[in-house]
Amino acid sequence: MLRSFRRVFRALFLLSLLALPTVVAAHEGHDDAPPPTAGPAPVPTLEATGSDVELVAVLKAGHLILYLDRYATNEPVVGADVSVSIDGGAEVRPEALPDGSYLLEAEDLRGPVHELVVTVATGDVSDLLIGSLAVPAEAADADDDHAPVLPGWPLLLAAFAAGAVAAALLAALAGRRRSAALTAVLLLGAVLLASLPAAAHEGHDHGDEGPVQALPDQPRRQPDGSLFVPKRTQRLLGVRTVPAEIVQARRSHSLVGRVIADPNASGRVQASEVGRVEAPEGGLPYVGQRVEAGQVLAYIVPAIAARERGTLSEQMAAIDKEIVVARQQLDRLSRLKGTVAQKEIDDAKAVLAGLQRQKKALSPVLEVREPLRAPVSGIIAAADAVPGQVIDDRDQTVLFEIVDPARLLVEAIAFDPVSAQDIVAATATGDDGAVLKLGLLGTGPARRGQAVPLLFRVEAGGEGEHPGTPVSVQVASSTPVEGIVLPREAVVRGPAGLPVVWEHVSPQRFEPRTVRYRPLDGASVLIEAGLDPGGRIVTQGATLLTQVR
């Protein structure tokens, strides 16, 4: 009876110890994740702007890197005479690097703020730049290893006391050392189990990584939509700017047009009779090959039916016989010269000459090939001839098309007859962005589909263009307008799909400006609203800046 009681008591005691609340490491509303790691230390940077030069100085790994760019165009100042004075000390000349920047040893820059005076002198630029370089203290790295939180001493003391009392009671009841030892082991295991930290409650975690921090010297888009682009990245992207100035231009209109060949410098080659195509010596010309006027491009061998060929052969044989007889008659009369009348000799000569001409007229039909010659000098634009190709009397195939690329025209249509009569300049832009300078040849008096046809001659920039290429024609009128003229590449599409330009507001900061514009010609646009004069507008690399996120 007593033994059964002791077993039941030991089981109940063990269950009570296991039911003790364990110490948790994360309380309600908290987690035991390590504190977020500190982001990378900011790179000490100095920005200064002079009248002609813009300066960005970056302190990295004990070296001071100087970026000097022209203020108006953002072009690097290369090969300049540069001197640097730090905190009023002696002037030091930095080393010029291949990328256009300048390097200066600066391992002693440990203080919080340093005054820099930079002098720049080159052929057409001379400037003095002054600024302060702040060197912040580096943040200490946070410890990633966090020891588990041990239970508080009051709870441990209470658990130990309860275990000791229970162990004493068991030992008294059991009266055996083995039972006391077993009870002590169970007590020690329960206490150790209670001291282990529990997992976080629902809604909490033990995250082991802090938030990812962006590098401070990487290009990025700011919350206000502006861009931070380091000078190093600007040079990689080739960013260039121009000052925004109000200028006077001519009002322009956009027309739809296409490139056509000059009819006086182009031609088509077709067969004039039924026959078979044969290649000349050197082979048939291919597309892109240059040919000269009068050059033989191919031959046409006349195609004659067997019956017709037999009839012609019979006629040729009869003519040959008559020629032999006529020649004999002429020889006989010639030997009797002085005896016979001269009239008979002349008649014999005329008969022989007529027979020879008759044979010559029939011979090409059986033997001679018709040469196909180039009507003009130029480039083969189309070739549709192969050896052995048969041309019949109903075939109007153009075997060769020749175009002179130096003499092209542009045909456009204008739906406003008034604007068609007021054209002082014109340009055309193709799909590849090439700009063609045009000169007006004439305006058609008859409308074509309610539009006035216009014809222009390509005066410059037509290299590589082909007849049939669609183009956008910009015609300028004599009406003057005022506005900010920018290159066409300066206007890009913003995130909302609206046209924007990028203004260079500080050495490493760009802000978008939504604008309204109209084309002036194939290479420039007129900003009508959304942009104030005086700013520096990105003209090269604007599309790449739009991709910065």
* Same-domain pairing of 421 and 524: yes
What stretches in the chain show pLDDT beneath 50? 1-2, 5, 8-9, 11-13, 15-39, 139-151, 153, 157, 165, 169, 172-173, 176-182, 184-214
Answer for the pair 455, 409: CB distance below 8 angstroms, yes or no. Answer: yes
* Same-domain pairing of 434 and 542: yes
Measure the CA–CA gap between 399 and 377, rounded to whole angstroms.
Answer: 16
* Same-domain pairing of 30 and 85: no
Residue 373's H or E segment, with its range, is strand 370-373
* Same-domain pairing of 25 and 75: no
Q: Say which CATH number the domain at 435 has.
A: 2.40.30.170
Kindly state whether residue 223 falls inside one of the protein's structural domains: no
Kindly state whether residue 230 falls inside one of the protein's structural domains: no
Measure the CA–CA gap between 98 and 107, rounded to whole angstroms.
Answer: 22
Residue 363 to residues 275, 327, 360, 416, 473, Cα–Cα distance (Å): 16, 19, 5, 61, 56
Q: Name the packing angle between helices 2-18 and 153-174 (round to 10°).
A: 170
Q: What is the pLDDT of residue 3?
A: 55
* Same-domain pairing of 281 and 185: no
Q: Say which CATH number the domain at 77 has.
A: 2.60.40
Measure the CA–CA gap between 27 and 31, rounded to whole angstroms.
Answer: 7
* Same-domain pairing of 509 and 422: yes
Kindly state whether residue 502 falls inside one of the protein's structural domains: yes
Answer for the pair 512, 502: CB distance below 8 angstroms, yes or no. Answer: yes
325 is in which domain, residue-wise? 267-373
Of 134, 158, 179, the residue at which a domain comes to its end is 134
CB neighbour class for 542 (10 Å; exposed up to 12, middle 13-18, buried from 19) = buried
Kindly state whether residue 503 falls inside one of the protein's structural domains: yes
The tokens for 373 are: 């010659």
The phi, psi pair for 9, rounded to 5°, reads -65, -40
Alpha helix (H) residue ranges in 401-538: 417-420
Give the count of domains, the chain. Answer: 4
* Same-domain pairing of 69 and 123: yes
Angle value at C-alpha 493, between 489 and 495, nearest 5 degrees: 145
* Same-domain pairing of 22 and 164: yes
pLDDT 10s digits, 200-243? 444 444 444 444 344 567 899 999 999 999 999 999 999 999 99
Kindly state whether residue 524 falls inside one of the protein's structural domains: yes
Measure the CA–CA gap between 367 and 451, rounded to whole angstroms.
Answer: 54
Measure the CA–CA gap between 548 and 531, rounded to whole angstroms.
Answer: 22
* Same-domain pairing of 31 and 64: no
Of 111, 134, 157, the residue at which a domain comes to its end is 134
* Same-domain pairing of 30 and 55: no
* Same-domain pairing of 158 and 296: no
Kindly state whether residue 214 falls inside one of the protein's structural domains: no
Question: Strand 425-429 vs strand 435-443: parallel, antiparallel, or unpaired?
Answer: antiparallel
Kindly state whether residue 394 falls inside one of the protein's structural domains: no
Kindly state whether residue 542 falls inside one of the protein's structural domains: yes
3-state secondary structure of 363: helix
Q: What is the pLDDT of residue 151?
A: 45
* Same-domain pairing of 252 and 356: no
pLDDT 10s digits, 501-520? 999 999 999 999 999 998 88
Q: How many CA atoms lie within 13 A of 177 on its CB side?
A: 0
Measure the CA–CA gap between 29 and 39, rounded to whole angstroms.
Answer: 26
Q: What is the pLDDT of residue 166?
A: 53
Of 347, 373, 399, the residue at which a domain comes to its end is 373
SS (H, E, C) 523-543: CEEEEEECCCCCCEEEEECHH
Q: What is the pLDDT of residue 149?
A: 41
